[in-house]
């Protein structure tokens, strides 16, 4: 009994060294951000991810700007994968893809609903060939009669979900949030579902069908605003840099620029007021509790900002930090990644290639479970390797 336990522990430790999913193969026919982000996470956890693209490559390869001849968008979400180029308009290529899926654990697609079935890559057909397959579909509004034909881009979902209308400054046109948060969070939800399905497979046999829709992810990003709308019937209004339920919690002008101040509770508000010379302000009936401060945020902002303009950002960061008031400087992304804190966290990882010896990648926050990053593959880099291994019946290492 002890020998069996020791052997099992040894196998588990070896798997962790190689990556927790080192024995898992995933076939990925998604494109741009949501699906590729999901499979990149799993690849960084050790899975073999076969990225199947058209002979001219998937859309993200053509998005500017470029670094070393590759799109930075493509580079961002395709680490640790293998690329196979197949023309799925050709019968032979489709059959080659089916044979690869036959010997894989997960298939993930982001075709327009109905397209996979027309190609012979639908759930029913593939699970007949591979009865243990985990089949994951990503779409914009789901496969139902109302959603199946609706187009799916992050900006359209920001508009649909209310994110766009709640962002920006009062009285100004709506502002799209900079990150493609709906695409990327949809990718995370796909990853979570696939990981749960892999865990379930240890206890149950048979195929599993998973579904991720960008509409679901978009409303979940607005979860507390959704609850407010359910309770009050009202949509949140644009708050600029502020938050709908907290004040002061926004950007202020200071003597030489801007500063984000996040006084998120009564204690922090009192500490802020003492440090800026407004110790009596918390006793003002308009500002004595959070609800009052939110209702009177514009008046509060003007009073606090007048004091903050009397000193520089660096001095206020020092003073507020010593007073225990959360505050931070306003960075551009280039400023943020140059900050010593990013180096301390080892978030930027050198990953040179022959074509781009200066290539660096953003580390995924997977801790010790992550495998070493490898550069995103060139188009069709692994086509011959994968097709030959499929024909021989041996998975490549």
**Strands 348-350, 208-213: pairing kind:** unpaired
Distances (CA, A) of 105 to 15, 47, 101: 17, 10, 8
Is position 183 annotated as part of the catalytic site?
yes
Distances (CA, A) of 210 to 4, 195, 245: 35, 11, 35
What whole-number distance in Å separates Cα of residue 81 and Cα of residue 358? 20
Catalytic one among 28, 105, 154, 183? 183
> Bridge partners of 1?
none
Residues 6+ apart with CB under 8 A from 351: 79, 359, 360, 361, 373, 374, 375
- Give yes or no for a contact between 47 and 69, defined as CB atoms under 8 angstroms apart: no
**Strands 106-109, 134-139: pairing kind:** parallel
Residues 6+ apart with CB under 8 A from 3: none
* 328 SS3 class: strand
Residues annotated catalytic, as ranges: 183
């Amino acid at each position: 009994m002890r020998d069996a336990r020791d052997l099992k522990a040894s196998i588990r430790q070896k798997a962790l060294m190689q990556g927790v999913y080192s024995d898992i193969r995933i076939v990925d026919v998604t494109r741009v951000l949501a699906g590729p982000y999901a499979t990149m996470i799993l690849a960084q956890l050790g899975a073999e991810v076969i990225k199947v693209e058209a002979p001219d490559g998937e859309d993200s390869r053509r998005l500017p700007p470029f670094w070393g001849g590759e799109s930075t968008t493509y580079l961002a979400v395709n680490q640790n994968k293998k690329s196979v180029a197949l023309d799925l308009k050709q019968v032979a290529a489709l059959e080659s893809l089916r044979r690869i899926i036959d010997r894989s654990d997960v298939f993930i697609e982001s075709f327009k609903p109905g397209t996979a079935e027309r190609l012979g890559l639908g759930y029913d057909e593939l699970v007949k060939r591979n009865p243990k397959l985990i089949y994951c579909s990503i779409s914009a509004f789901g496969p139902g009669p109302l959603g199946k034909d609706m187009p799916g881009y992050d900006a359209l979902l920001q508009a649909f979900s209310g994110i766009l209308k709640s962002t920006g400054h009062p009285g100004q046109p709506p502002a799209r949030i900079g990150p493609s948060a709906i695409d990327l969070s949809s990718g995370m939800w796909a990853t979570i579902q696939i990981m749960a399905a892999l865990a379930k497979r240890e206890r149950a046999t048979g195929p599993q069908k998973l579904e991720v829709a960008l509409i679901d992810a978009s409303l979940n990003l607005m979860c507390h605003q959704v609850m407010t709308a359910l309770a009050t019937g009202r949509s949140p209004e644009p708050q600029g840099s502020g938050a709908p339920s907290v004040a002061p919690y926004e950007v202020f002008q200071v003597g030489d620029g801007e500063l984000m101040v996040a006084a998120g509770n009564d204690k922090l508000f009192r500490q802020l007021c003492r440090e800026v010379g407004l110790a009596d302000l918390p006793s003002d009936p308009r500002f004595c509790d959070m609800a009052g401060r939110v209702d009177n945020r514009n008046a509060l902002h003007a009073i606090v900002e007048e004091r903050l303009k009397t000193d520089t950002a660096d001095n206020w960061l020092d003073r507020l930090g010593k007073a225990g008031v959360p505050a931070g400087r306003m960075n551009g992304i280039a400023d943020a990644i140059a900050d010593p804190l990013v180096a301390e966290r080892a978030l930027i990882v050198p990953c040179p290639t022959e074509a781009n010896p200066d290539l660096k990648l953003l580390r995924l926050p997977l801790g010790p479970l992550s495998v070493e990053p490898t550069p995103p593959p060139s188009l069709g880099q692994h086509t011959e390797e994968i097709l030959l291994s499929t024909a021989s019946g041996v998975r490549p290492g």
